A = this chain, B = another copy of it.
Amino acid sequence: MQTERVTIYDVAREAGVSPSTVSRVLSGRSNVNALTRGRVQAVIDKHSFTPSSLAQGLLQKNTRTLGIILPGVEHPYYASMFTGAHSEAQRLGYALQLFPIRPQETMTKPFMELIDKRRLDGVILSGGVVEAILNDGLVSQLQQLLRAIPAVAVCPPIPGLNCINIYSDLTSSVRQSLRHLYTLGHRRIAFLGGSYESRSAGERELGFIDEAEHLGLPSRYRNEAGHSPQAGETGVIKLLNPLPKGEWPTALLCINDLVALGAMRQLRRMQINIPAEMAIVGCDNQFFSSYTCPPLTTVDLHPDEHGRAAIQQLVSSIGREHITFSQLQPATLIVRESCGAALGFRKFP
- What residues make up the interface of A, taking CB atoms closer than 8 Å to B? 1-3, 5, 48, 50-55, 57-58, 61, 63, 72-74, 76, 79-80, 82-83, 86-87, 95-98, 100, 113-114, 116-119, 147-150, 229, 261-262, 264-265, 268, 287-288, 291, 293, 318-322
Contacts and interface: CB of A to CB of B under 8 A. Distances in A.
A1 B320 contact: yes
Given A50-B113, A58-B58, A82 B73 contact: yes
Q: Which 8 A-B pairs have the closest CB atoms?
A: A50-B117, A73-B73, A50-B116, A288-B288, A261-B291, A54-B58, A54-B57, A73-B79
A100 B52 CA distance: 22
B83 A73 contact: yes
A110 to B, nearest CB: 10
Contacts of A117: 50-53
Contacts of A83: 72-74, 100
A284 B2 CA distance: 36
A247 to B, nearest CB: 28
A268 B291 contact: no
A291 B265 CA distance: 7
B63 A74 contact: no
B52 A58 contact: yes
B118 A53 contact: yes
B76 A74 contact: yes
22 contacts: A1-B319, A1-B322, A2-B319, A5-B61, A5-B148, A50-B113, A52-B117, A53-B117, A54-B58, A73-B79, A73-B82, A73-B83, A74-B83, A76-B79, A83-B100, A86-B100, A95-B118, A96-B98, A98-B98, A229-B287, A261-B291, A288-B288
Contacts of A72: 83
Contacts of A96: 98
Given A2-B148, A57-B54, A119-B53, A98 B76 contact: no
A63 B149 CA distance: 21
A57 B1 CA distance: 17
B149 A2 contact: yes
Contacts of A319: 1-2
Contacts of A114: 95
Contact of A147 (B3, B53, B80): B3
A330 B55 CA distance: 43
A48 B141 CA distance: 12
Nearest to A3: B148
Contacts of A291: 229, 261-262, 264-265
